[in-house]
Amino acid sequence: MADPKKLFIKTYGCQMNVYDSTRMADAMAADGYVTTEKADDADMVLINTCHIREKASEKLFSDLGRLRPLKVAKPDLKITVAGCVAQAEGAEILRRAPQVDVVVGPQSYHRLPEMLRAGGQVVDTDFPAEDKFDHLPQGRGHSGPSAFLTVQEGCDKFCAFCVVPYTRGAEVSRPPERLLAEARALVARGARDISLLGQNVNAYHGDGWTLARLIRALAEIPDLLRIRYMTSHPNDMADDLIAAHGDVPQLMPYLHLPVQSGSDRILKAMNRKHTRDDYFRLIDRFRAVRPDILLTSDFIVGFPGETDADFSQTVDLVERVGYGMAYSFKYSARPGTPAAEKAAVPDDVADARLQALQSLLTSQQRAAQDAMVGRTVGVLYEKAGRMPGQMVGKSDHLQAVHVTDANGKVGALVQVRITASSANSLAGVTIS
């Protein structure tokens, strides 16, 4: 019997890309591929790209350059580029990197096996009429207590800085029954914590369901102990979803709610269609129903036209909200977006603002970590620690926790008293 073919996957970007990579591995498994951790061992290399951050294309072409000698040594090696950079720059990828065999966009990756079987160079960056999830095999690549589940794709918001509407397309929600079936299958394979994913996840509207209704249905699945969702838009935060945080025990006290800026003038220029006061009111409502909720967010500094006064408003918003963690970035123009045509803030000014904001956010994250000391929290074990008798898992608030527990088992949900904190993790002991 012939040895199975080997697939190496490198994934950039968000959790949705991680989920997509898993589903592409499932599709290739049906064609006889098994995954490998080494590109040198692979019969196929797949790079799943992200176009959100600066220099995404340069990173891709750097990776492809490193693969060129491998392709020369192994002419039968198949190289595939998938994801949002593939969607945006398909023909250019083949022109600059002729060693690539297949370029496939994020809405067409269910066709990947047939593209490879067809031979030659193939570009497929269409937005097909059929639902890719209808054509993918039942997922079998997942293992472990935590899993991702994409429930919604695309975005209709057209923020001035963002390429997602162009690379992922319009908002599409998956049917709830299929999501429930996939969630049950994940739980059967050991998942206890499922994160629901979408570019604009709280716009979910599959078969007329809201995200809150889907969460309540998922909470009925035996052995599904935790539910989270990301990433949300403030304009789609419905009353029933806020209420669910107060009365669905499986819905964790964690919310990622990007605001991007604290200045109303910049929010308008970004086409966010909400104000800072709208955001404050949402935060107040969440804390009213779930006082212990940990908030995270995204921020862009140096957006075209941002003044010192605008940046001060962002700092003020951060100080007023208080985040457990946040992502902050210097604005980088994405070709084809409205903001790309506007004059940039000088680099040195944007760099100084980013450094100041990150310092503030880091101090808030550390304060949130320190405030956990002495508290008892649930921890879901994900793996054994480096030290004997130690387990590593995630708290209810998605914080990494190292637990002294000689009898711990992966997948167990235990009560832990937090004894110490550091910048990026907590330490604790089990409660007997």
Give residue 232's pLDDT: 96
Closest to 112 (Cα-Cα) out of 27, 51, 195, 36:
27
Q: What is the CATH number of the domain that holds 425?
A: 2.40.50
Find the domain containing 347 and state its range: 285-371
Chain centre distance of CA 324: 17
Amino acid at 33: Y
Identify whether residues 153 and 248 lie together within a single domain. yes
Q: Is residue 99 domain-resident?
A: yes
**Which of the 8 DSSP states describes residue 251?**
B
Contact 284, 429 (CB under 8 A): no
Give residue 253's pLDDT: 98
| Helix/strand/coil percent split, the chain, to 5 | 40, 25, 40
Identify whether residues 66 and 162 lie together within a single domain. no
In 10 A of CB 419, how many CB atoms?
A: 14
Q: Number of structural domains, the chain?
A: 4
* Residues in the chain, total: 432
Instruction: List the alpha helices (DSSP H) in 192-290.
Output: 211-218, 239-247, 264-269, 276-289
Q: What is the CATH number of the domain that holds 295?
A: 3.30.750.200
Identify whether residues 11 and 128 lie together within a single domain. yes
Q: What is the CATH number of the domain that holds 93?
A: 3.40.50.12160
Identify whether residues 32 and 86 lie together within a single domain. yes
Give residue 281's pLDDT: 98
**Which of the 8 DSSP states describes residue 315?**
H
The residue among 371, 396, 420 that closes a domain is 371
Closest to 13 (Cα-Cα) out of 65, 86, 77:
86
| pLDDT < 70 stretches in the chain | 1-2, 52-54, 127-143, 432
Identify whether residues 384 and 341 lie together within a single domain. no
Q: Is residue 220 domain-resident?
A: yes
pTM comes to 0.84
Give the burial class of 402: count Cβ atoms within 10 A of its Cβ; 0-12 exposed, 13-18 middle, 19 or more buried: buried
Radius of gyration of the chain (CA): 22
CA angle 98, 103, 106 (to 5 degrees): 160
The residue among 325, 340, 371 that closes a domain is 371
Question: pLDDT tens across 129-170, in order?
Answer: 556 566 566 655 556 899 999 999 989 999 999 988 888 888
Q: Is residue 270 domain-resident?
A: no
Q: Is residue 197 domain-resident?
A: yes
Contact 381, 408 (CB under 8 A): yes
Identify whether residues 295 and 313 lie together within a single domain. yes
Closest to 47 (Cα-Cα) out of 32, 33, 59:
59
Task: Give the span between the Cα atoms of 14 and 356, in whole angstroms.
Answer: 25
Task: Give the span between the Cα atoms of 218 and 227, in whole angstroms.
Answer: 8
Q: What is the CATH number of the domain that holds 189?
A: 3.30.750.210
Give residue 397's pLDDT: 97
Identify whether residues 367 and 380 lie together within a single domain. no
Q: What is the dihedral of CA 366, 368, 369, 370, to 10 degrees?
A: 90
The beta-carbon contacts of 338-341 under 8 Å, at least 24 apart in sequence, are 338/160, 338/271, 339/160, 339/161, 339/269, 339/270, 339/303, 339/304
Amino acid at 322: G
Identify whether residues 33 and 125 lie together within a single domain. yes
Tokens of 77: 């090696």
Q: Is residue 258 domain-resident?
A: no
CA angle 59, 53, 197 (to 5 degrees): 110
Identify whether residues 198 and 181 lie together within a single domain. yes
The residue among 81, 106, 132 that closes a domain is 132
Question: pLDDT tens across 163-215, in order?
Answer: 888 888 889 999 999 999 999 999 999 999 999 999 999 999 999 999 999 99
Identify whether residues 382 and 361 lie together within a single domain. no
Q: Is residue 180 domain-resident?
A: yes
Identify whether residues 44 and 73 lie together within a single domain. yes
Q: In the β-sheet with 325-330, what is the strand arrangement from edge to edge?
A: 254-256, 294-301, 325-330
Q: Is residue 273 domain-resident?
A: no
H/E run at residue 355: helix 347-370
H/E run at residue 330: strand 325-330
Give residue 51's pLDDT: 73
Identify whether residues 403 and 359 lie together within a single domain. no
Q: Is residue 347 domain-resident?
A: yes
Give residue 358's pLDDT: 98
Tokens of 217: 């249905």
